[in-house]
Amino acid sequence: MSLIIDVISRKTSVKQTLINPGDVTVVIYEPSVVQVHAQASAVARYVREGNDLLIYMQDGTVIRCNGYFLQAANTAEQSELVFADGQQLTHVTFADTAAGGLAPVELTAQT
């Protein structure tokens, strides 16, 4: 099954769609909305590694969002994560996103 991910720039509203049958790396250059077309309950865990967000799905697929935790200069905007399962949208935030070092840190999702 292919995984569909939309990356929508918060500044320009330009949308890029990625369709991958396996692991995928999404490069985020500016604060964006990352929309994963799957149920939020399909996620096994979230990990922060530096400024990257790693989403480990229960089927073993890994979504790496390079630059997810980077904040644009002169703005408080950040990237956001949303799951769309065809029935509803689930906005996922993280309470424990303190500055990430090089060591991976497991995150707790808040929906």
Q: What is the reported pLDDT for 70?
A: 87
Q: What are the tens digits of pLDDT across the range 66-109?
A: 999 988 777 778 899 999 998 999 999 887 666 556 566 777 77
Sequence-distant (6+) residues with CB within 8 A of 64 are 23, 24, 25, 26, 52, 53, 54, 55
Q: What are the tens digits of pLDDT across the range 88-99?
A: 999 998 876 665
Q: How far is CA 11 from CA 20, 52, 73, 106, in A?
A: 25, 20, 12, 29
Q: What are the tens digits of pLDDT across the range 20-50?
A: 889 999 999 999 999 999 999 999 999 999 9
